[in-house]
Amino acid sequence: MIAADSLREDQPRLALTGITKRFGAVLALDRVDFEVYPGEVVALVGDNGAGKSTLTKIIAGVYQVSEGTIAFEGRPVRIGSPEAATALGIATVYQDLALCDNLDVVANLFLGREQASGLPGGLRSLSEEEMERRTREVLHGLSVKIPSVRHPVCGARSLSCWTSRPPRWAWSRRPWCWGSSASCASGG
């Protein structure tokens, strides 16, 4: 992988070229080109049905492209799953209501990525205190103030952004968060 610091300012950090997505006979995206450059914050806007969510899900690894190429930090990649996107340092901040509104903020942030301690392959227990500490740190970095990270979310917006390992990129349908994790955390 090319070190992020070695990318030239005129070289895109993320480049999608000729992206086409079909759902059966429905053409959702037709030869879309999309680039994001180092230090850039990009807003993706469009009418309902324009393909914003489809493009988001391709970048997040939820959907696979029917045609086209994706390059990340100057090299071709296949984002075949959300785990593959995470491995590249891409995170998605969903605008939907909480993933699980019966769980607290900590459990929602770490859903599917719970931190545990113990012996690998042996009995392990959740690292509740560490997950809570990291949750408070993330919320503080985003200037989010809530009464308790241990109350069920019950209708709050999802905050499944970065938790145990800050991503290099965060993707959001909200206009404030596409760029480096530092620019996302600061809101710019």
Instruction: Please indicate whether residue 184 or residue 137 has the higher confidence score (pLDDT).
Output: 137
pLDDT value, residue 123 = 84
Q: Token pair for residue 92?
A: 């998605």
**pLDDT tens digits for 53-101?**
999 999 999 999 999 999 999 999 999 998 899 899 887 766 654 567 7
| CATH fold of the domain at 1-92+166-188 | Rossmann fold (3.40.50)
Query: Residue 90 phi/psi, 5° resolution?
Result: -95, 130
CB 152 within 8 A of CB 102: yes
Domain ranges of the chain: 1-92+166-188, 95-159
pLDDT in tens, 117-169: 887 777 888 899 999 999 999 888 878 888 899 988 764 444 443 444 555 55
Q: How confident is the model at residue 188 (pLDDT cuts 50, 70, 90)?
A: very low
Instruction: Please name every residue paired with 75 in a beta bridge, in sequence order, or none if there are none.
Output: 72
Whole-number pLDDT of residue 5: 55
pLDDT of residue 96: 57
